Structure 1
């Protein structure tokens, strides 16, 4: 695997969450900089074999917005 995709959401209580697509990796943080660091650490610990570790992580930002219909 050369690349991995994370869905990034704003947490209701503040901060951000990140969940990998196709892998059991989930992390969160209060700031975007901390989230990026946590994603890198989570990837390191998730893949036992260094050859399996992705070289690139795509961060896909998801934003839910509510629109009232009048």
Structure 2
């Protein structure tokens, strides 16, 4: 059992966010970060059985920012 699962959260080009688990086949989307948090919890609960459930979900939020020179 893994103690922790890590999700890479990125802004989607069409708006909202996507979240992809590292090392597992779990993917979800959401309109905002609150929805991503909720959807990630739901996806993890659906993916794992109780005995294999990670204790911690870590979100690594990547945000691109463009600045003028």
Using structure 2 for the length normalisation, give the TM-score: 0.87
Superposed CA deviations along residues 28-63 of structure 1, whole A, max 9, x for unmatched, are 00011011000000000001x211111111110123
Rg (Cα) greater in structure? 1
- Where in structure 2 are the equivalents of 1:1-70 lying within 5 Å? 1-47=2-48, 49-65=49-65
Runs of 4+ aligned structure 1 residues displaced above 6 Å come to none
Query: Structure 1: any 5+ residue segments left out of the alignment?
Result: none
Aligned length: 68
How far the C-alpha of 1:67 sits from its partner, in A, is: 7.3
User: Over aligned residues, Cα RMSD in angstroms?
Assistant: 1.6
